[in-house]
Every structure is written in C-alpha cells, then in structure tokens.
Amino acid sequence: MWRGNSQSADLAPPIHPTLDEGSFVAGKASRPFRGAARRASGRFHELRKHPFIRSASVAIGGAATAQFLTIAFSPLITRLYGPEAFGAVGVFTATVLIIGSFADLMYGTAIVLPPSETEARSLLKLSALIALLISSISLLVFGVFRHEIANAIGFSASPELLYFAPVLILLSGFCQPLHHWLYREGKFNEISRINIIEALANNISKVSIGFVSATTPVLLVLGILSKILQTVLLWFRARPSIMRRDDPPAHSTDDMSTLKSLREVAYRYRDFPLFRAPQKWFRDLSYTIPSLMLASLLGPAAAGFYLLSTRVIQLPNTVIAEAAGPVFLARIAKARHESDALRPILLRGTLALAAIGLFPFGFVAITGPWLFGLVFGADWVIAGEYARWLTLSSYLTFIAVPTLSAVPLMSLQGHLLVYEVGTTALRAGALTFGVLYLESDVAAIALFSLAGACASLAQILLCLALCNTRSRAG
C-alpha cells in the first residue's frame, strides 16, 4: 500500500498528474534551501552553546536591561528635574570621572589576566588600597578648595555638595576591581542581576522623591546611594571566591607575604598605572570637556543637554560594548596564551559590532531633535540636535571596543597614551573653536564629534594592522 513516503512515491498513481509532478519537482528544488536552513539553524544553536557567545550574551543582556530601565524612566525624570539640575549633576559627574580614572590606577582591570588566583587576589588588594589613598587625598583637596573648584568648573549648586565627590571616587575605585573579579570567575549572571537591581533602585527613587523635591542635591545623593548599593552587592557576590584559599600556605608571616605579593604584582603590571591609567584619564577628559566648557561658558542648561544626549547616544556602548569589553579581553588573553592569531578574533568582533550599531546610531542621527522632543519634552529638542552629531564619534567608539581591549596584550599601552593625548587636544581644540569663534554650541559639538570619529578610526586600523606581530613579540 502506498504511504506517500519518498521511497514509494514513484509507484503510486497520482490522482492529479500535473499538480503532483509540479509538487515533486518543487520538492526536489527546495531540498538545497531546506538543507541550508537546517545547517544555519544548527550553526546558530552551536553558537549559542559557545562559552564566549554565552558569556557575552549574559553580560550584554544584564547591561541592556539596566540601561533600558534608565531610558524608560528618563521621560519622567527629565520632566521633573529639568536641564539646569541635569547640567549641575553632569558637571559634578565629569569632575568625579576625571579623578576617578586614577581611583585604582587601573590595576583592577588587570585582574582578569593572571593565570594564578593568588596574583589576581593581590591585584584586588592593591586596587582597594590605592582607591583609599586617592579618595583621601581628594577629600583634602575638595575640603580646602571646594569654592574655587566650583567656580572653575561652573558648578551652579552649593559648593558644599562637592564633599560627595571623594565618596563617589572611593566607590568607583572599589566597583571596578570587584566587577573584573566576577568577570574572571565567570559570574556574568551575578553582574547582570546587580546592574538591574541598581538601575531599578536608582530610577524608582529619583521619580518617587522627584515628585516631592526635584532638586540637584536630590539627584546627587540618590546617585551616590545607588553606587553604594552596587558596591555592597558586588562585594557579597565576590566575597566567597575572594576569601577562598586554594593555594599552599606561605612560609613567611602573613604581613610580610602580603606586602611582598603586592610589590610583585605592582611591578609586574606596571604598564597599567604607567600607560593605561593616563590613557583612560585623557580619554575620560576628552569626553567630559564638553560638560565643563559648556557649563562655564554657556550655563548649566547647555551642560544638561549634553548630559542627556550622551546618555542616550552612548546606550549601545554601555549596553553592548562596555559589557562585552571584559569578555573580549578574557577571550583575547586566552587566545594569546594558546598562541592563536588575534587578527581574526578582533576583525570578527569589530565587524559584528559595526553591523549591530548601524541601526540605533543611524536612527538617532536621522530623528534626533524630533525624538528627544517627543520622548523627553519640548525643553530637550536641543539635546536631540547634540545627539544627532554625536552619533558619528559614538559609533566609531562602539566598534573600537575589541581592538581597544587587545591593547594591553599587544604592549601598545605607551602608543595608546600618546594617541589619547593627541585625541584630547584635538577634541578640546575643535570644541573651543566652535564655541568661541563660530559662537555656536551645535557647531562645537559637531566638530568635537568629527575629531573623535577620525581618532577612533585610526586606532582601529592601527591595532588590526599590528595585532599579530605585537602579540607574538609580547
């Protein structure tokens, strides 16, 4: 009896010969397509099981959820607080960011690199001690010169609020090493949950209290409280593995052994404070210069427009690039330990981010002013104009994350420091020319973005050109 299967189809008398023959031909023709679909589906499932893809997906998912929560609350927050309050917070954040770049001298970033857990633990201790020292110095400086600093940076709120800056610097110096410790341990789910909890607590409190008192001090204090929450949660998640003792006991006393190990890792990873920390400082300075210059020359509202525009336009960077950066670093470090070529890994990562970022950045570039006016209110249309121009530099920064992550492994820290000094000078010059000579804040932002885009493109091409040679030499 004919069952309609592939083996007996030739023997069965078709009721409708023409239709059946056409179906048979179509079935034969569609086999390659079905095979290709099956292979693509199998490849997709294989990629989902790949440790690197899975780790990156978890990290990106947590960061994405946290950032989307922030953006979802933003229409309420912008209508409650206004551009002036945002501008004052932006100036405060820019000042903290400039000092916070040195909070741990970037030793915390190196935690994912050592093969030995003992070395990684010593880097964690060293980072915490340096953060305590730098925050103590900053407390003294802000305590004595807070009025002068407030005038210099265009901080329109009470100078007494600058006492919070050392607290935020200390918390930043603790958070980065703890983040990288959890990355080292592969606890991406924990990091994602912490990011979501912190974002929820921060934004709900801003909206709730904003209905009662929407002021600059409220924004500052709530931001610091959310950072405290994040630090505490990171510590409790990292504490079990930090306190674990799998290594044989040292023969010397604990104090002497700890001091010796700190000196050893400080010297072994000296490239980070010598080159990476100054490089990050110049990079952060180049991004914070607009807030400080706009606040001092045009008032806090202009700084508020810049703060909101960068928050939105850097969403893909925060969601995907920054979350995937440590994952890229761990993957590249593993490839180097196994003597694999770095260029294919970096090229695939760069092209993947280029494809992912094309739609969000392109959408903001086309609809910026209209989008900001619709979502955040009519007072924020100018911020949309800023965002339209900032898409160019932000897009290039977004796709530069894989090559930037490989810089320590290629021993290009010194070159990158020179690059950041030049980039900062170029951006500052472009911004100054736009504000003082063209007398246009929008033209200044456009020139600032163009300078940054050219610099990021040069960095990507240089790292791709040198990656295999420099990694073998290292």
pLDDT of residue 448: 92
Closest CA to 171 of 120, 135, 203, 213: 135
pLDDT of residue 449: 93
State the chain's mean pLDDT as an integer. Answer: 80
**Cα–Cα distance between 458 and 454 in angstroms, integer?**
6
Average pLDDT over residues 174-191: 88
Give the Cβ contact number of residue 267 at 10 Å.
Answer: 8
Name the region of 14 (left: φ>0; alpha: ψ -120 to 50; beta: rest): beta
| DSSP code string of 50-65 | SHHHHHHHHHHHHHHH
**Cα–Cα distance between 336 and 125 in angstroms, integer?**
26
Q: Is 253 exposed, middle or buried (0-12, 13-18, 19+ CB in 10 A)?
A: exposed
Alpha-carbon torsion (226, 227, 232, 235), positive or negative: positive
Tokens at residue 227, please?
A: 């950072």
pLDDT of residue 316: 76
Average pLDDT over residues 361-386: 92
Whether residue 388 is predicted with pLDDT greater than 70 in this model: the reply is yes
**Cα–Cα distance between 407 and 402 in angstroms, integer?**
9
Average pLDDT over residues 208-214: 90
Contact 189, 58 (CB under 8 A): yes
Q: 3-12, 71-80, 150-159, 337-346: which has the minimum mean pLDDT?
A: 3-12
pLDDT of residue 36: 47
Contact 346, 463 (CB under 8 A): yes
**Cα–Cα distance between 408 and 414 in angstroms, integer?**
10
Taking only Cα atoms into account, the Rg of the chain, rounded to an integer number of angstroms, comes to 26
pLDDT greater at residue 181 or residue 53: 181
Q: Max Cα separation, the chain?
A: 99
Average pLDDT over residues 70-98: 87
Identify the H or E element spanning 99.
helix 51-100
pLDDT of residue 370: 93
Average pLDDT over residues 237-245: 85
Interhelix angle for 413-432 vs 277-298, to 10°? 10
